[in-house]
Structure 1
Amino acid sequence: MNTGKKGLALIKKYEGFKSKPYLDPIGIPTIGYGATYYPNKKKVTMKDKAISEQEASSLLVEMLKVYERQVSLLVRKPVNQNQFDALVSFCYNLGATNLSKSTLLKKVNANPNDKTIANEFVKWNKAGGKVLNGLTKRRKDEAALYFS
């Protein structure tokens, strides 16, 4: 399964486009739509050249293949497109390791339609130990997409 238009739009909305490298909230060099590394596995550095929005979109689609594969491997029950997209957004933002250890995944694998899954998304709203409003909003939107 590949990320659909709704999932891509959600990720772009919350990652935001930055043409030049910047430090994310926990100090990791990032570029484009939240990319911390390139398809060749090279990490983004603060010295990297600026990229266009089109290059950032292409980079995002390429990078999402990794997260789509990870979600597909971790989720053991059939999910619909919106559920998949929400899980890919979560995984892109937090990584497959966090998804793999989460109660969110346990609940998805027990019953993908369990309404308490929405509560599990919103628990992941911290960066560097601090609650971030942007993450709280993102998790709520991921939960809303998951159940739409």
Structure 2
Amino acid sequence: MSALAYAVSLIKKWEGCRLAAYPDPGSGGHPWTIGYGATGPGIKNGVTWTQAQADDRLALDVDRFLKGVRSVLKKPATDAQLGAMTSLAYNIGVKAFANSTLLRKFNAGDVAGAAAEFPRWNRAAGKVMKGLTNRRLDEQGVFRS
């Protein structure tokens, strides 16, 4: 499987797809989200998309996040590792990923240490979220595969 396919599979599984905008589960408000976790300008209460819009946006976003993750890697990654890191970055943002201990450990050649960092990213708005805990464990498993 390609890195892109790993990332899309994880993102679809954990984000799900909702065609009507909804508030962020962690904050109960901003940022409003739609499709497979898309946020940004124009996404607010009352917005609806077609399935094609959600799929198109996911393709654009995953490509962008994959490029963002690749841009900060200093060591080669397997497709599974790259896909898992892209799924994480999709959820937390490339900037947070770029500043993460996970990336520092990976770039230093400590792959096991990097894998151990995934579960630390299980909070939204300061609260531990069961869904994020489960997602991180799934990403960690893919990363290790």
Does TM-score exceed 0.5, indicating one fold?
A: yes
1:60 to 37, 58, 61: 58
Alignment correspondent of 1:129: 126
Alignment correspondent of 2:144: 147
- Partner SS state of residue 21, structure 1: strand
Tell me how far 1:3 sits from its aligned partner.
Answer: 4.0
Q: Matches of residues 1-148 of structure 1 in structure 2 within 5 Å? A: 3-25=3-25, 26=27, 27=29, 28-37=31-40, 42-48=41-47, 50-111=48-109, 114-148=111-145
Tell me how far 1:64 sits from its aligned partner.
Answer: 1.4
Tell me how far 1:57 sits from its aligned partner.
Answer: 1.6
Question: Match of 1:80, as an amino acid?
Answer: T
- Which has the larger displacement, 121-130 or 4-13? 4-13
Q: TM-score, normalised by structure 1?
A: 0.89
1:63-98 Cα deviation digits (max 9, x unpaired): 112211110111111101111100110000000111
CA gap of 1:3–1:60, structure 2 versus 1, over 3 A, is farther
* Long gaps (5+) in structure 1: none
**Quick one: distance in 1 between partners of 2:90 and 2:42?**
15
Q: Percent identity?
A: 37
Question: Over aligned residue pairs, what C-alpha RMSD do you find?
Answer: 1.5
Give the structure with the larger helix fraction.
2
Q: TM-score, normalised by structure 2?
A: 0.90
- Partner SS state of residue 90, structure 1: helix
Tell me how far 1:6 sits from its aligned partner.
Answer: 2.6
CA gap of 1:3–1:23, structure 2 versus 1, over 3 A, is farther
Tell me how far 1:117 sits from its aligned partner.
Answer: 1.8
**Quick one: distance in 1 between partners of 2:126 and 2:94?**
19
